[in-house]
Chain A
Amino acid sequence: MRKITMRTALMEALNEEMERDETTVLFGEDVGKFGGINAVTKGLYEKFGGTRVFDTPIAEPTIVAAAVGMAITGNARPIPELQFGDFVGIAFDEVFNKMGKWRFMHGGQMEMPVTLRLPIGIAGGAGPEHSQSPQALFMHGPGLQIVIPSTPYDAKGLLKTAIRDNNAVLFFEHKVLYDMKGEVPEDEYLIPFGKADIKKEGDDVTIIATALQVHTALDAAEELSAKGVEVEVIDPRTLAPLDMETILQSVKKTGRVLIVHEEPKTGGSGAEIAAQIQEQALFDLSAPIKRLGSPDVPIAQSIYLEPFYTPSKEQIVQAVDELMEY
């Protein structure tokens, strides 16, 4: 099968869905002629024209509010982009309250077919306001669907599903993954929300990882496998809805759990997953649930300090070793 980068996979998804549905509109900072700072929207302006693909001022509340406004008219299917996911803070009310709740507040009179793309993650010394992974904040906001792919294949299938969905979707893309290649079929496919993917099977420890950390976990899995420890790596792919069934089945088998993400450990998505596991499967556990996340410290603007924020292969191996002591 052909291998393409996640950037190309996302571009294909945008192209295909914008061709398929003329009501789709794409906008954000520098997404038009420039093609986006991550070059994900390159060529869309030329292909679909300035009415459907256009730049906005540097005003995130306006970007999201405009998307919400277009969506509730029933005449448009907006795909806005925030240049950095961190900027969601300034548009918080538009996302958290309006995008997520209006359909429900108004008795379903309107739909909210918005897919807000948010590039996230530590990459290239961009500092504390351009490196974060704020997805867990929105697990606390009912009404929002949260997608966080780790491979080109998942990214494409999930983005197509997101765009077609008539409820709000926050689509988090880890910047380091844009250049990562993976197999993607030529034929069209969709990936449903709420369906975790087992990236590697194993009997000893369940590792639940998202985004870039899926790959760190898989690297660690290889090293652990050489030592005779077989971990199972599960990528939930969507945090809302969250596929607890797949996770719990794995926990039943292994009895040991490690959750890895780049978000700060405190209040990260792993906290919720760990809580649900103990609520539903305490008596399957042989050991305390372990979590690895970034430290609860603003991310330093230094490529030399950055590695200390991202969970590493060594940390994962060590955490698994500790779990295996039980």
Chain B
Amino acid sequence: MYEVKMPRLGTTMKNGLISQWLVEEGQEVKKGEYLFELETEKSTLEIEAQEDGVLRKIIVPEDEEVPVNTVIAILGKADEEIDFSVYSGAEKAETPSEPQVQAAAETERDEKPKAAAGGGGVSPRARRVAKELGVPLDGITGTGKNGIITEDDVKNAAGSKSSGLTVKETVKLNNVQRTMAENITNSWQTIPQFTQMVTVDMSKALEVKKEISGISMNDIIVKTVSNAVKNYPYVNSRFKDNEVTVFEEINVSVAVNSSHGLVVPVVRNTESKSIGEIASEIKELAEKAESKSLGMDDYADGTITVSNLGSLGIESGTPIINAPQSTIVFAGATRKMPVATESGEVEVVPVMGLSICYDHRFIDGVAGAGFTKELQKAFENIKAEDLK
């Protein structure tokens, strides 16, 4: 047997009126099917059955207003013995047949201790779950015994967030994603950052790529950034407690895409590695990312980050610093564009967008421009031997 109760559809709802029963007594109804039409002060809604069963008895007829949580009907098995007399009595007690004034006074009396008890009618477990999920308890309609709010009620409320939206799915972040969420939030909230953008002529870089076999544009970008940092080490740094620490090693954090998400492992000592070594190391890191075997060491001690979404066709972007580093280089797609030469003619040239984001607490626009131009120059004048 299941008692169908007048649901509470909002914090302020006190009474509800059944404008229409959509199922007749004796008719079978499945959980989720519409059982009745409910009219509140605000709107009219179709209400679903919460359980399977036969509608054994309608206790509250159409067009009669009753308080929230009043038993309005009984669902049960077809042959279940049910004593309905209890309900007719209870229902009478709640029918506002007494003088209006007295009824109003009683409602007030009833409500006061409830408020004092901090809500009341919430199972301790539901209270804990609500706290964990950050769901406010007011506004949740209790479906437990005597209208108590249950764990399921809280979880349902967390899923639907009280708005009219229907949740298609909720996705929990894995560890890699959670770490990313934390780091990015931390960077965004604690580092005032700015981005400079330049367009780079990639003609020579493409020639070099052809010259050296087994390397990708990404490898060239990593090594070229490393080369530019050598001439402009101020960006290979961290800022903490009003002190800038500049590093000897150029450990490049490289964004690597994997089927589990984007990860940013580190290629160490790029300043002393050839492009071939860098290429095979990045390949190795990508394989590790795929097999989820990147360890803490693989992420540690990066000094500058390269993020290259060129292969995905992205032209430029506004990256966010990979804290606690101070600089991130975003490389876009290399594409052919008409460019006006110095002599005023138009040529079609392969170009790449570079967006470089700096920690503005200690790298100002001019200092940033120094490295931005340095990197642009490094790409435009690139030679195969630079990458050895």
Digit string of A13-24 for contact with B (CB within 8 Å is 1, else 0)?
000000000000
Dominant secondary structure of chain A at its interface with chain B: loop
B123, B128, B151 — which one has the most chain A CB atoms within 10 A of its CB? B123
State the CA gap A285–B123 with chains docked (Å): 7
Q: Which of B126, B128, B145 contacts A325 (CB 8 A)?
A: B145
Q: Does A244 contact B (CB under 8 A)?
A: no
Total count of chain B residues near the partner, CB < 8 A: 11
Given A255-B151, A286-B150, A286-B151 in contact, is the A326-B145 Cβ separation under 8 Å? yes
Q: Are B150 and A285 in contact (CB under 8 A)?
A: no
Contacting residues of chain B (140-187) with chain A, CB-CB under 8 angstroms: 144-145, 148, 150-151
Q: Are B145 and A286 in contact (CB under 8 A)?
A: no
Given A255-B151, A326-B150 in contact, is the A283-B145 Cβ separation under 8 Å? no
Digit string of A306-326 for contact with B (CB within 8 Å is 1, else 0)?
000000000000000010011
Q: Does B127 contact A (CB under 8 A)?
A: yes
Digit string of A268-296 for contact with B (CB within 8 Å is 1, else 0)?
00000000000000111111000000000
State the CA gap A279–B124 with chains docked (Å): 12
Q: Are A284 and B128 in contact (CB under 8 A)?
A: yes
Given A286-B150, A286-B151, A326-B150 in contact, is the A255-B125 Cβ separation under 8 Å? yes
Chain B residues with Cβ below 8 Å from A255 are 123, 125, 151
Chain A residues with Cβ below 8 Å from B144 are 286, 325-326
Chain B residues with Cβ below 8 Å from A285 are 123-125
Contacting residues of chain B (202-255) with chain A, CB-CB under 8 angstroms: none
Chain A residues with Cβ below 8 Å from B125 are 255, 283-286
Chain B residues with Cβ below 8 Å from A286 are 123-126, 144, 150-151
Chain B residues with Cβ below 8 Å from A287 are 123, 145
Q: Are A326 and B124 in contact (CB under 8 A)?
A: no
Q: Are A283 and B148 in contact (CB under 8 A)?
A: no
Q: Measured between C-beta atoms, what is the minimum distance from A312 to chain B in Å? A: 20
State the CA gap A285–B144 with chains docked (Å): 13
Contacting residues of chain B (75-130) with chain A, CB-CB under 8 angstroms: 123-128
A285, A286, A322 — which one has the most chain B CB atoms within 10 A of its CB? A286
State the CA gap A325–B144 with chains docked (Å): 6
State the CA gap A72–B144 with chains docked (Å): 58
Chain A residues with Cβ below 8 Å from B145 are 287, 322, 325-326
Q: Are B150 and A283 in contact (CB under 8 A)?
A: no
Q: Measured between C-beta atoms, what is the minimum distance from A198 to chain B in Å? A: 21
Residue of A nearest to B128 (CB): A283
Contacting residues of chain A (239-256) with chain B, CB-CB under 8 angstroms: 255
Chain B residues with Cβ below 8 Å from A322 are 145
Residue of A nearest to B123 (CB): A286
Residue of A nearest to B132 (CB): A283
State the CA gap A303–B44 with chains docked (Å): 61
State the CA gap A286–B130 with chains docked (Å): 13
State the CA gap A282–B126 with chains docked (Å): 11
Q: Measured between C-beta atoms, what is the minimum distance from A248 to chain B in Å? A: 13
Chain B residues with Cβ below 8 Å from A282 are 124
Chain B residues with Cβ below 8 Å from A283 are 124-125, 127-128
State the CA gap A275–B357 with chains docked (Å): 60
Chain A residues with Cβ below 8 Å from B150 are 286, 326
Residue of B nearest to A322 (CB): B145
Q: Measured between C-beta atoms, what is the minimum distance from B229 to chain A in Å? A: 53
Q: Measured between C-beta atoms, what is the minimum distance from A316 to chain B in Å? A: 18
State the CA gap A325–B3 with chains docked (Å): 10
Chain B residues with Cβ below 8 Å from A284 are 124-125, 128
Chain A residues with Cβ below 8 Å from B127 are 283
Digit string of B324-347 for contact with A (CB within 8 Å is 1, else 0)?
000000000000000000000000
Residue pairs across A and B with Cβ atoms less than 8 A apart, 30 shown, are A255-B123, A255-B125, A255-B151, A282-B124, A283-B124, A283-B125, A283-B127, A283-B128, A284-B124, A284-B125, A284-B128, A285-B123, A285-B124, A285-B125, A286-B123, A286-B124, A286-B125, A286-B126, A286-B144, A286-B151, A287-B123, A287-B145, A322-B145, A325-B144, A325-B145, A326-B123, A326-B144, A326-B145, A326-B148, A326-B150
List 16 other contacts, CB 8 Å, given A287-B123, A326-B150.
Answer: A255-B125, A282-B124, A283-B124, A283-B127, A283-B128, A284-B124, A284-B128, A285-B123, A285-B124, A286-B123, A286-B124, A286-B125, A286-B126, A286-B150, A326-B145, A326-B148
A-B pairs with the 5 shortest C-beta distances? A283-B128, A325-B145, A286-B125, A286-B123, A326-B144
B-binding residues in A (CB < 8 A): 255, 282-287, 322, 325-326
